[in-house]
Structure 1
Amino acid sequence: MFAAIKRHCQAILSQTPTNRLLALDVLRGLTITAMILVNNPGSWSYVYGPLRHAEWHGWTLTDLIFPFFIVIVGISLQLSLQRQQLVGKAAAIKQALLRSAKLYLLGLFLVLFYYNFRDVNYSYIEQKLTVVRALGVLQRIALVYFCTVLIALYCATRGRIAAIFGLCAVYLGAMYWLPYQDAQGQQFVGLFEFGNSFAAWLDNAVLGANHVYYAKATPFAFDPEGLWSTLPAIASCISGLLIAQWLQADRSVVQKLRGLLLFGIIAVWLAELWHFTLPINKALWTPSFVLLSSGYCAIALAACLYLCDVKKYRLWAAPFIVFGANAILFYMFSGIVARLLGMISVGSVSLQSWLFNTIYQPMLGDFNGSLGFALSFLALSYLVMYGCYKRGYIFKV
């Protein structure tokens, strides 16, 4: 069995192009794997703490997953920048706009792909179309990616650093000092509370309470991938540009490792200190959260570089290469399957609930059963993604 697994992993590694940064592919795969794992428990009532988001201020390992992906988008963008510049800036911007539009529409498709067959009174138009969530994970990636392309094309290193500081400064300026008021005329300023911040007020005013994730938040409905928090999310992506520039420079792997670790450790340390005055908060994507998540991403990339390029320990990474090579397809596949499991009925419950209640919970218990379901979901996904990888099919947006 172990020999078969080894041959399987070696076959995957043999298909990897020699000119690619293996550590980045592995980190992307680890990130999207973690994202799908936390998104698909057997039951949301039984999820281990590290696999949940922080309730508000603070962070868990799960809170680092999405910003890792954002930073990786920036790294990948910088590594492909020379190819984009060859076609000219106008063509590169057009391509980026088209890609962003596709990402946004894919995200919108996942929002709309649901029907409650168990409720005879369910109205798709009233309960889905007219209250469609405007933003989300893929939608945020779309907006962040396009803005970062513009910065990558027109700004050198100093301009990119200035953009990070500028975006965070504008974000904080509004969060701290722009007054806003609720429907009763009560005025607020400088708050970072659940449902009460400038970011929440803006989402409520522009998107409307029916089109955001936290529709029942008070006094303002808001979205964790909302409008104003997109600014520091762009800063996260720009940090990926700078990390990639460091990797592209003419220096040894050991020097690159040391630089990534030094940046990562300092960034995390500063973020934790900053947390005392500016809370680390994923839903608001505060600049302290930008610093923390970018720092940990640099540390994680350094670890992958060390294992894959210095120590040459690569067999363990093969499954993550498969997932990372088709990250968007993996995300779409998992989203569609998860929704189908919720739509298909077995008696009066969904197929997912039936599987958890009938198989996983009796065998493994509440929390382990929920985790076991998520791991089984990953195993099924791997079979599909490996089939695509083996045939050379890479879904590109």
Structure 2
Amino acid sequence: MFRQYTQSILTGMPANRLLALDVFRGLTITAMVLVNNPGSWSHVYAPLLHANWHGWTPTDLIFPFFVFIMGVSIAIVTQRLQAQGTRFAEVFSASLIRSLKLIGLGLFLALFFYNFRAADYSWIDQRLLQIRLPGVLQRLGVVFLLTTIIVYHWRLKGQLVWMLSLLIGYWLLLVFVPYPLPDGNMTQGMLAHGNSLVAYVDAQVFGAEHVYYRQATPYPFDPEGLLSTLPAMASALSGVMCGRALLATQWTLQQKAMRLLGVGLVLIALAYVWDLSLPINKALWTSSYVLLTTGMACVLLAALLWMLDIQGWTQWSAPFVVFGVNAIAFYMFSAILARLLMMLPVADTSAGNWLYQSLFQPLFGDKPGSLAYAMCFCALCYVAMHILYQRRIFLKV
């Protein structure tokens, strides 16, 4: 029965579409939802948490993988539009609309919360007037628009120059540009939590009430803040480079996979060399972090190409196809459901806490129960996404 189910999904894929790319997207968004929704944040296995500061965990690979995949998609779509002779004005208009939609969805999620358990809760004062302005979808929207502009105006060499300039320029900004501390003294080159050029810029532009790390000192900042969007664009451009390689007609699929693997391993090695002077850091999105995550993405995509599109081992991949082709819908559904479980009161706590404490924790224990909750949450989301897939409903922004 499972074989029939998977075949029904896989046979619906277009013949010329790379299965590896959809599965990569599906794996990435599934991992994002899994790590975002534990039963309890007090009981989470270390690999499912972000690194405390410098360094990385598997969780720190997820968001840049999504940015990388977006870059691959930009390369594929742009080549098709250029072949059709589509004018840049049309491309820019469509890209701007998509960017604004992503930003709007991100702001909607930032506002979608009400504390029904607090009688004195004021949504206007505690949510609207203190809205977190940056965010995951907001960053995707901005990076998508700017990367599309670069890709449409510059060819391969120009795109490579942009990518290197963003990485090296960001490194130079972090290390050499001075900024004032609250006491009036000037400093530079600091890469501490709340004490960096990134944090200073976020504090000046957004203010303490509108960023994720509101209590950081001396400056509140956001992991999806303004200045760190520059290297995130380099992550997207690295995906564009990968997309161009996948579109190349002079190489076989095996050659493409081997080249991706080789490039990925080289980038990982270079990342650790750069880490000696510029630490790998997700919250700052350092240039060494871009090299590491791009290298990891290339290695994983090469492995998926070999496994799925070359060897044909596809049966396991069907659920991730369902998630991958409707990634934005999956993300939005999971985020809204998670907020509803936090908002709805049950027995003097939230519905989500009640489920974990009364069912998952007693059955499985602290951390295993927290992970089981997250897995069941993903399974529930899958039911909804499968219904959309069957009805051929795909959320396009």
Q: What TM-score do the two structures reach when normalised by structure 1? A: 0.98
Is the partner of 1:132 in helix, strand or coil? coil
Partner of 1:336: 336
SS at 1:80 equivalent? helix
CA RMSD of superposed structures (Å): 0.8
Distance 1:137 1:247 in 2: 27
SS at match of 2:55: coil
Residue in structure 1 matched with residue 6 of structure 2 by the alignment: 9
Tell me what 2:128 maps to. 129
Match of 2:19 among 18, 22, 38: 22
Deviates more, 1:210-219 or 1:242-251: 242-251
Moved more, 293-302 or 79-88: 79-88
> Does 2:300 correspond to 1:296?
no
Q: Deviations over 1:295-315 (max 9, x none)?
A: 000001001101111110001
Aligned counterparts, 1:125-274, within 5 A: 125-250=124-249, 251-274=251-274
Between stretches 345-354 and 81-90, larger displacement belongs to 81-90
1:68 aligns with 2:65: yes
List gaps (5 residues or longer) in structure 1: none
- 2:386 alignment partner in structure 1: 386
2-side partners of 1:143 and 1:384: how far apart? 29
Q: Which amino acid aligns with 1:62?
A: T
Aligned partner letter, 1:68: F
What letter matches 2:329 in structure 1?
A: L
Identity %: 49
CA distance in structure 2 between the partners assigned to 1:16 and 1:388 by the alignment: 15
2:109 aligned with 1:91, yes or no? no
- Once residues 276 and 170 of structure 1 are traced to their aligned partners in structure 2, the CA distance between those partners, rounded to angstroms, is 18
Cα deviation for residue 84 of structure 1 reads: 2.8
- Cα distance in 2 for partners of 1:366, 1:195 equals 32
Shift of 1:71: 0.3
2:171–2:278 CA contact under 8 A, matched in 1: no
Matched, 1:375 2:372: no
Q: 1:7, 1:35 → 2: CA distance? A: 28
Look up the equivalent residue of 1:311 and give its one-letter code: Q
Match of 2:316 in 1: 316
The equivalent residue for 2:276 is 276
The whole-number CA distance in structure 1 between the counterparts of 2:39 and 2:335 is: 14
Question: In 2, Cα distance between the equivalents of 1:5 and 1:45?
Answer: 36
In structure 1, the residue matched to 2:396 is 396
How far apart in 2 are the matches of 1:182 and 1:307?
A: 52
Distance in 1 (CA, whole Å) between partners of 2:100 and 2:160 is 27
Provide the C-alpha distance between the structure 1 equivalents of 2:20 and 2:172, rounded to a whole number of angstroms: 37
1:79 aligned residue (76, 81, 88): 76
Shift of 1:81: 1.1
Cα contact 2:18–2:309 (8 A) shared by 1: no
CA distance in 2, matches of 1:291, 1:187: 30
Aligned to 1:33: 30
Query: Secondary structure, in 3 states, of the residue corresponding to 2:389?
Result: helix
Matched to 1:102, the amino acid is K
The equivalent residue for 2:51 is: 54
Give the Cα separation in 2 of the matches to 1:114 and 1:84.
40
Bigger Cα displacement from structure 2, 167-176 vs 53-62: 167-176
Distance 1:84 1:126 in 2: 46
1:15-55 CA distances to partner (integer Å, 9 max, x unpaired)? 11112111100000000000000000000000001100000
Number of aligned residue pairs: give it. 394
Shift of 1:172: 1.7
Q: After alignment, is 168-177 or 264-273 more displaced?
A: 168-177
**CA separation in 1, counterparts of 2:360 and 2:143?**
39
**Which deviates further from its counterpart, 182-191 or 295-304?**
182-191
How far apart in 2 are the matches of 1:336 and 1:98? 23
Aligned partner of 2:13: which letter?
A: T
State the TM-score, normalizing by the size of structure 2: 0.98
Q: Match of 1:312, as an amino acid? A: G
Distance 1:272 1:172 in 2: 15
Moved over 6 A (4+): none
Q: String of CA shifts for 1:87-118, please: whole Å, max 9, x gaps.
A: 21110011000000000000000000000010
1:166 to partner: Cα distance: 1.0
- Residue identity opposite 1:258 in structure 2: M
2: CA distance, partners of 1:182 / 1:63: 29
Q: 1:254 offset after TM fit, Å?
A: 1.2
1:116 alignment partner, SS class: coil
Deviation of 1:182 (Å) = 2.4
In the aligned structure 1, how far is the partner of 2:331 from the partner of 2:4? Answer: 27
How far does the alpha carbon of each residue in 1:152-178 deviate from its partner, in whole angstroms, 9 at most, with x for none?
101111001100111122212221111
CA apart distance, 1:184: 2.0
Hey, what does 2:102 align to over in structure 1?
103
Partner of 1:65, secondary structure, is helix
Between the aligned partners of 2:136 and 2:26, the Cα distance in structure 1 is: 17
Supply the AA of the counterpart residue of 1:332: M
Q: For 1:290 and 1:181, how far apart are their aligned partners in 2?
A: 27
Q: Structure 2: how far apart are the matches of 1:310 and 1:165?
A: 32
Give SS of 1:45's match: coil
Structure 2 unaligned segments of length 5 or more: list them. none
